Structure 1
């Protein structure tokens, strides 16, 4: 009997190791990994699953896609904003949530957001550098400066003009 348990354990270990290697190689080969929401815990580390959960549950954002590849988070969400002020609030929520994850050693260097279901003059995308939110969370950068850096990365449809 003990031999059967040993064989079963070895098989499980080998199967688990093969799965881990396959998952690891997928990331190395450039495959994007869809991030699923994960309730935050007290382990002291920020995960991308926790980021998605915070955006969806705390900020009630409709995340349509969240992937991770080569140090970059690609986030797509359906905007609920109907004005520039509301759009800036949504971007602020993403900055805040991403800042929490980065402050707890989250695995990304940059977050690139794409805004879907937006109003005509709303930005189509923006990005947040992890280095900006680290400095902001450490008190080395003001709220307005980190927001301005993110706002400067926004792209707009040609029809929106340059008055944003």
Structure 2
């Protein structure tokens, strides 16, 4: 790791005169004095209400809506173990009654789709093979007719 002295030695050629080691303390003192004595350009504006106003607002809300504190404690506090077990049982029952049957039906539809797509692809492949064979047969028939026409023309 490089020390301040190594870093200073690395840039001695292009360092401004105010950052020379001998003169650095005086500049540091001048900068600190400038910061302490200068006044801010814009005054500090308090953006938050005073603590007494916050407390008064909270007390006013508590007196207006007394059930809110109970609800907050109910939902943020630690639940008793029997409630956690009941939630787990409810989730488990929901999975068994709704989610797992849905996944089973979804798997059946996916498998049916795969079979259907495979059958369609096989059918298209068969049709294209038939078309290729028909084209090849037409091409050879056309070639033989062309050769026969040439022979007939040569005879005449």
Under a length normalisation based on structure 2, what TM-score does the superposition of the two structures give? 0.22
Compare the two structures and name the one with the higher strand fraction: 1
Greater RCO, CA 8 A, separation 6+: 1
More helix by share: 2
TM-score relative to the length of structure 1:
0.22
Larger Rg: 2
